[in-house]
Amino acid sequence: MNRLVRGQRAVEATKERFRGKQFALGKCDCARLIAFHLKQMGHKVSLSKAGSYRTIRSAQAALRRIGFETLSDAMDGHGFARVAPASAWLGDVVTFESGYPIGALGIVAGGGNMLAFHELHDQPVIMTMGAIEAAWRIP
């Protein structure tokens, strides 16, 4: 299947899976959103090794247990190639400005938009890709 078609289907499946879900660290957050999306793209992802977390502090500890300081480090550590944010394709993963010390991740949804959690919304939303810090190609 063509990579862009697979990316589109994965984005749609991820939107549907998280539609109406309330943000909750450790249950419904950007790490879970990205893990589900990566599985839809054909990658094996397991969050269980990190252990459970419910606060930002315990999320930091969970990342450290698997050898990373930030979500960006985890994307790099899993071997995904960085690309220029302007070159990100539908279904690629991006990180953007966030108030969380571990960062935040979103999924390129097309048309200059991404699917991500945002502090002004309690559910994942499609929003413009402003302040993108890095992007990873998801093959």
Summarize pLDDT for 93-103 with one digit per residue, the tens.
Answer: 999 999 899 99
* pLDDT tens-digit map of 69-102: 999 999 999 999 999 999 999 999 999 999 899 9
Q: What's the length of the chain?
A: 139
pLDDT the model gives residue 127: 95
Q: Is the pTM of this model over 0.85?
A: yes
pLDDT band, residue 107 (cuts 50/70/90):
very high
Cβ neighbours of residue 114 closer than 8 Å, sequence gap 6 or more: 94, 96, 106, 107, 108, 126, 127, 128, 129
pLDDT the model gives residue 1: 82
Domain residue limits, the chain: 3-136
Query: Under CATH, what is the fold of the domain 3-136?
Result: endopeptidase fold (from Nostoc punctiforme) (3.90.1720)
Of residues 87, 123, 124, 94, the one with CA closest to residue 108? 94
Average pLDDT over residues 42-50: 88
User: If you average pLDDT over every residue of the chain, what do you get?
Assistant: 95
**1 or 94, which is more confident?**
94
